Each structure stands twice: as structure tokens, then as C-alpha cells.
Structure 1
Amino acid sequence: MKSNQSNPVVWFEIYVQDMERAKTFYEAVLAVKLEKMPAPTAECEDMEMWSFPSDKDTAQTTYGACGMLVKMAGVPSGCGGTLIYFACEDCAVQATRAAENGGSIFKEKFSIGEHGFIALAYDTEGNMIGFHSM
């Protein structure tokens, strides 16, 4: 089914309690440098935000972030019911880095058939995150 509509999912936020710990974790696991974001309004002055790298001019304006609804045994909906997947060359590498940098592996790399492989881990803040590779 082909559609002229763009993907409506364009943004995600991962909430943390210890920004320095979380920032260090994601920079090490994903081998990226996060960018400090200024408060968008005066009402948001108490927020601290660090952005994942992206091509702000093109990457999210036409395609968006891929997403879906998922029902999986052992993973509840509600608080904590959103799972973000990060693209990788080999998702086992990032899962191992997660464990080496203060997180833990929930599920080692496994096949999702023709769609590649995923691994699930917890970050230093207790958030479950996913890694995907072909």
C-alpha cells in the first residue's frame, strides 16, 4: 500500500534522572556526540536537553522515524510502554556496549526474520531501548 502521507513520527524523548550519566552512556554505546539544546521557551528553563545527531534540515522532514504498535509478552503498556530502536551495523555490538557502560542486556541479539535482528537493553536510567541491524 503506497501513500502520499509522510510518517507522522518525527521525534522521541528519553527521560532521565542523571543527565551526565545518561549522556555518557548514550555517547559511549552509540559512538555519537550529543548536542546541548537551549530551552525552547521561558517555561522550559528548568529542562536540560541533549539532542542525538541528525540532519535537521532533511532527515526528519520527509521520512520521519519508523514506528509501530507492538504487543510482546513480558513488556507492559502504560508507563514505560514505549521502546526506541537505534540503527546499528550489528546490534550485538551496541547491546554489549550498553552492558559495559552501566546498562544491562534484557534480550541478546535475535532474528526478526527478513527484517534483520534486534537486541534489547536497559540504559543507566532503567529505560528499555532497542538496537536494530540487518
Structure 2
Amino acid sequence: MINPVVHFEIPVADMDRAMAFYEAVFGCRLERRRVDGYDMAFFPRAEGQAGASGALACGDVYIPSKTGPILYFDVPDIIPVLARAQAHGGAVLYPRTHVGEEGYVAEIEDSEGNRIALSAPPDEAR
């Protein structure tokens, strides 16, 4: 088994606010759909490429939290992502930190109160 994670869902309380946050912070367009009665917004995914698919999910079973699993988003440079997160209602929970050969990590609180992590390669811009 190379990569057992195939899909994730991030709980949100306000889909419009969450979509605005994630689109601004990560510079991507989310596709909003109704799935099994729940309001969802899907992150872009390229078929045949590495990585899991994922979505924001809103509904009675989706409760935002900082205490559940932590998802890591791969970014080329953490510093501008932290700035965009703060500018759009997020907060820095764990500052950009060098973790050796793996590169850099940081954690933010999104617009909904979830803990989201960032990962960048060791050669990211300083």
C-alpha cells in the first residue's frame, strides 16, 4: 500500500465563509456540490497524480474542531500562506518551523475553527 489516504473532508459551519477562506489562502477554486444531502466544496484534483481528494463539508455530522486529525497541505512557501490565512480570518497556531531534511511546517486555524497544517520543502523561499 503506497498511500492509503484517498479522500478527506474538513467540517465547516459556514460554507460561503469557508470557501472564501480556502480559495484565498491556497489560491485554488473549489467546486460546490450537494452529496448525500450535504453541502460540499471539493478541492481540485488531477487524475493520475499523487495526493488525496478532499472537500469542505457542511451539515449536522460535520463539526469543526482543533482536536481531531491534522491535515497537511503541501505549499511551495509557508510564509505567504500564513499571511493570507491571517488576512482572511485565520490564526497562526504553530509558526513556521524547520524540521530538518523534510523542510518546514506550520499550523493555522481556519475560518471555521479547524487546525490545518502546512508543509513546505527544505528549499522554500526564506
**TM-score, normalising length: structure 2:** 0.80
Report Cα offsets for 1:16-55 as digits up to 9, x if no partner. 000000000000000000012342xxxx22x001100111
The change in CA–CA distance for 1:54 and 1:110 in structure 2 (over 3 A counts) is same
The aligned residue for residue 17 of structure 1 is 13
Q: Identity percentage over the alignment?
A: 38
Q: Does 1:100 align with 2:87?
A: yes
CA distance, structure 2, for counterparts of residue 18 and residue 38 of structure 1 = 15
Name which one, 1 or 2, has greater alpha-carbon Rg.
Answer: 1
From the two aligned structures, give the one with the greater strand fraction. Answer: 2
Is the Cα–Cα contact under 8 Å of residues 24 and 84 in structure 2 kept in the other structure? Answer: yes
Q: Does 1:6 align with 2:36?
A: no
From the two aligned structures, give the one with the greater helix fraction. Answer: 1
Q: Which of 50, 53, 58 is matched with 2:48 structurally?
A: 58
Is the Cα–Cα contact under 8 Å of residues 6 and 64 in structure 1 kept in the other structure? Answer: no
How many aligned positions are there?
Answer: 109
Pairing of 1:1-134 with structure 2 (within 5 A): 5-39=1-35, 44-45=36-37, 47-55=38-46, 57-59=47-49, 63-65=50-52, 80-134=67-121
Is the Cα–Cα contact under 8 Å of residues 104 and 119 in structure 2 kept in the other structure? Answer: yes
Report Cα offsets for 1:55-87 as digits up to 9, x if no partner. 1x312xxx554xxxxxxxxxxxx9722111111
In structure 1, stretches of 5+ residues that fail to align are 66-77
C-alpha root-mean-square deviation of aligned residues, in Å?
Answer: 1.7
Is the Cα–Cα contact under 8 Å of residues 118 and 132 in structure 1 kept in the other structure? Answer: yes
In structure 2, stretches of 5+ residues that fail to align are 53-64, 122-126
**TM-score, normalising length: structure 1:** 0.75
Name whichever of 80-89 and 10-19 sits farther off: 80-89
CA distance, structure 2, for counterparts of residue 64 and residue 133 of structure 1 = 15
Is the Cα–Cα contact under 8 Å of residues 66 and 115 in structure 2 kept in the other structure? Answer: no
Is the Cα–Cα contact under 8 Å of residues 106 and 118 in structure 2 kept in the other structure? Answer: yes
